[in-house]
Structure 1
């Protein structure tokens, strides 16, 4: 583009003529006309916004009976669902453009991202759930997270919408049980819908650490910064083969892509261009399915202060070596011990250690404590249980932990903070975590050598003696802090796998 300040200066050979009174009047009339036109454009702009919202909202496919009422002004958790289904009326040209086949695709939900929006709307966090996460699915035992939607559909009868609603409800229930959060709304998009949205927004800029060439997804990109059209964008978010971390890198790509598209959507180039905005609105609304309670205007008002840099991304915590084979299936193992504190960190809630510290210790006689030996030392759990029994606790049977553990940790079921505090008061320096794996407060002894102490030892250390005192542990006995959620802010300078 030519910059006018780069052009050579032009010096007129004659003096400019003086304006006549008539010319000045014409100029004033012209400026008045322009000012009036701008005012009309502003009025029309406000009307256009109203029309745009109506146009957008009316094009969305709504499904009822999935979630409860919308509560404007409160924190919102919106589940974003993507699956591989192809509409029955897709043309051969569309199949070719999407680099896929006409086999109908799969109803499995290969993309599951929870969008958390705090009450003040100043930020948003995209929390990804790997599709192969090994979870408990209500009514179906343990399985891959992406199967929950299909189980729900297959369990239901009725119309296509009713089966769809049942599938979404089971997926939402599974994620709610997993995270402890309430899912307020959901938005679902199919393979073709994703393509249509990406096509309406135009090329998106991405940066790759390494060149990729994946025949499964069709992704064939060099390393470095590049612009992707809609077809390439679809290949980009679908690739998992050939990436260092497989499906985990694919989840990161989806977060990255959503962040880049959000920045593009929030830019003045989209929002202040009525033609482009109308095209985007039409493509997006006709491509979405969502619950009938999601008030988009209210959500937009809540997010009015959101800037592109305020969008963070995170993935639920996984075990250090997360890949495993169970019943012949390759699955991803979640770090359930770290999950509650992770969710608290993302949503601004209190960690397990903070909640236990603030709780009033329960009377030992009302607390049942189990001890598992993860240290490998002979008689460790028996010795620890004997100490707790002498302090007035109800105790279980000595047991070995299923695996060795480095850090001695007090685990407690949700809501048992007071019981955990009573147990922790006699276990100086132990960590604490909430876990749904145990019925009672459970101590797993670690290789760090920490063991419970009796009443006199605990008193000399400044902790309660087991009498139900609400005094807090001393600094030397304070629960180990839990790590905060590892979130990322993607921008145009970020390169990923």
Structure 2
């Protein structure tokens, strides 16, 4: 947001000096900035309370009953191509089950805490988190930006009411959010509740990531409005709120990035999430732990599609999982039911007919709540059945659930049943140059148009 403000709001030198004087800098990158023409900026939001936060400020947050923490519950990589013509926000689910160097397997949001609490402070936490994410995605993180709950509140408070639109009414006491369906204008406290809600959403934490992507897109659009850019007092207030609220690596040059992004418009800001295969509950040290299982096999192709490059041949096999190791069941042994969670009519029935034509046994098609991501749900132990169905829905997420048969919930992402054999036959030839590379399919991304509504 500040990059857009600085380059379009006038008084560039004055605004820049005013802004940088309020930023806290830390040594956040394991190897320092790479100074790539393309930039990958890791945005981190956590629950820590600044040392100078007053009781009155904590009361405004509505979270004064807990002591906060350094778990990074919001992690977004912003990829900026060299020409600055677009931006892609890549969300990383906080419960992603990953390897944290020196600490073994754990949820991704624990990495910062491990690095911070083992003698590294904020810099140690940032470095361990960056290293973990680089190992997971294969991307090089060029810059790091961290904001607290209080910082988020102050920024939205300075910006003014933010309009959002919901498909369904929500009333969640855990995040203190109570909004009707349709358009609402949120003050800073409500905005904080809006981006923190996960209870009561169809996909839990995964829908919370959609909330955060959506909110950032809405804020970018509002910042570009004349009401902010042509109001010097408001512009200064927003810049002061942002600069006093963030912690960055020392190599982040705001003017350089602002110049790179000078032609960026909100319509060119896309959102996506790293590929996952499900949200199983596993047992760790005798305790049940709900996790997000990352699709490591699909990660290289996903990242290549975001970067607009070819997919390199994997140098080593991905970490095995129960799903990966399952034997694909014969199609004729699998019963699959299709539910319509999209915004199109008749697709559950048409996909059911298509699957029947491929030889699957089919249940009665139906409808369910609207959701963004097409999801294949399957009973625990039926990984082979799920794998058979997944071949016909490329790009769909997988999820262990309390269902009797494999259930496909069609989302608004437009994924439909296709013949995997035909797809292989019709695939374009690999790009010339690297004979081991294959073209990367486009990553499923969303650009939130003005007035768009979400869960």
TM over 0.5: yes
Aligned: 1:324 with 2:281: yes
> Residue 374 of structure 1 corresponds to which residue in structure 2?
327
Matched, 1:165 2:93: no
Q: Check the 8 A contact 2:28/2:144 in 1, yes or no.
A: no
1:273 aligns with 2:221: no
Residue 86 of structure 2 corresponds to residue 134 of structure 1: no
Match of 2:107 among 137, 141, 144: 144
Number of positions where the alignment pairs a residue of Structure 1 with one of Structure 2: 346
2:37 to 48, 66, 74: 74
1:23-34 equivalences under 5 Å are: none
Superposition pairs for residues 202-221 of structure 1, below 5 Å?
202-221=160-179
- Paired with 1:340 and 1:293, the residues of 2 have a C-alpha distance of 28
- Contact 2:36/2:142 (<8 A) preserved: no
Q: Tell whether the 8 Å contact from 1:130 to 1:251 is kept in structure 2 after alignment.
A: yes
Structure 1 CA distance, aligned partners of 2:211 and 2:390?
A: 36
Contact residue 68 and residue 293 of structure 1 kept, 8 A: no
Cα distance in structure 2, aligned partners of 1:93 and 1:211: 30
Cα distance between partner residues in 2 of 1:92 and 1:376: 59
- CA shift, 1:376, in A, is 6.8
CA 1:298–1:482 in structure 2 vs 1: closer, same or farther (change >3 Å)? closer
Question: What is the alpha-carbon distance in structure 2 between the residues aligned to residue 89 and residue 68 of structure 1?
Answer: 31
Aligned pair partner of 1:291 in 235, 249, 258: 249
Q: What is the Cα deviation at residue 493 of structure 1?
A: 1.9
SS of residue paired to 1:86: coil
Measured after TM superposition, the shift of residue 351 of structure 1 is 2.4
Given that 1:67 and 1:293 are in contact with CA atoms closer than 8 Å, whether structure 2 keeps it comes out as no
Number of the residue aligned with 2:184: 226
User: What is the aligned partner in structure 2 of residue 392 from structure 1?
Assistant: none
Structure 2 equivalent of residue 123 of structure 1 = 86
Match of 2:137 in 1: 179
Deviation at 1:65, TM superposition (A): 5.5
Q: What is the deviation of 1:408? A: 12
Structure 1 residues 225 and 407: alpha-carbon distance in aligned structure 2, compared to 1, 3 A threshold: closer
- Does the 8 Å CA contact 1:195/1:230 hold for their aligned counterparts? yes
- Could you tell me which runs of 5 or more consecutive residues in structure 1 were left unpaired when the two chains were aligned: 1-44, 157-161, 357-371, 378-401, 410-430, 432-447, 451-469
Partners of 1:351 and 1:272 in 2: how far apart?
45
**Partner SS, residue 241 of structure 2:** helix
Instruction: Give the structure 1 partner of residue 19 of structure 2.
Output: 56
Question: 1:144, CA displacement in angstroms?
Answer: 0.2
Q: Give SS of 1:188's match.
A: strand
1:201 is matched with which residue?
159
Distance of 1:373 and 1:314 partners within structure 2: 28
Superposed CA offset, 1:465-484 (max 9, x none): xxxxx9989xxxx98x7642
Describe the SS at the equivalent of 1:143: strand
SS in 1 for 2:158: helix
TM-score (ref. length: structure 1)? 0.65
Confirm or deny: 8 A CA contact 2:44 2:146 kept in the other structure. Answer: yes
- Check whether the contact 2:279–2:290 (CA below 8 A) recurs between aligned residues: no
Q: In structure 2, what is the Cα distance between the partners aligned to 1:194 and 1:449?
A: 45
Q: Check whether the contact 2:84–2:263 (CA below 8 A) recurs between aligned residues.
A: yes
1:348 to 308, 319, 322: 308
Q: Distance in 1 between matches of 2:254 and 2:301?
A: 30
Superposed CA deviations along residues 161-200 of structure 1, whole A, max 9, x for unmatched, are x511011101000100010000000000001000000101
Q: TM-score, normalised by structure 2?
A: 0.70
SS of residue in 2 equivalent to 1:149: helix
CA shift, 1:326, in A, is: 3.5
Task: Decide whether aligned partners of structure 1 residues 493 and 150 sit closer, same or farther in structure 2, where only a CA change above 3 A counts.
Answer: same
Alignment of 1:13-24 (within 5 A): none
Whole-angstrom distance in 1 between the partners of 2:32 and 2:197: 37
Instruction: Report SS of the residue matched to 2:291.
Output: strand
Contact kept in structure 1, 2:42 and 2:143, CA below 8 Å = yes
CA RMSD of aligned residues (A): 3.1
Is the 8 Å Cα contact of residues 80 and 115 (structure 1) preserved in structure 2?
Answer: yes
CA distance in 1, matches of 2:209, 2:383: 29
For 1:170, what is the secondary structure of its paired residue?
helix
Change (3 A) 1:142 1:92: same
Alpha-carbon separation, structure 2, partners of 1:216 and 1:486 = 30
1:235 positional shift: 0.5
The aligned counterpart of 1:423 is none
Q: Measure the CA separation in 2 of the matches of 1:71 and 1:122.
A: 21
| Larger RCO (alpha carbons 8 Å, 6+ apart) | 2
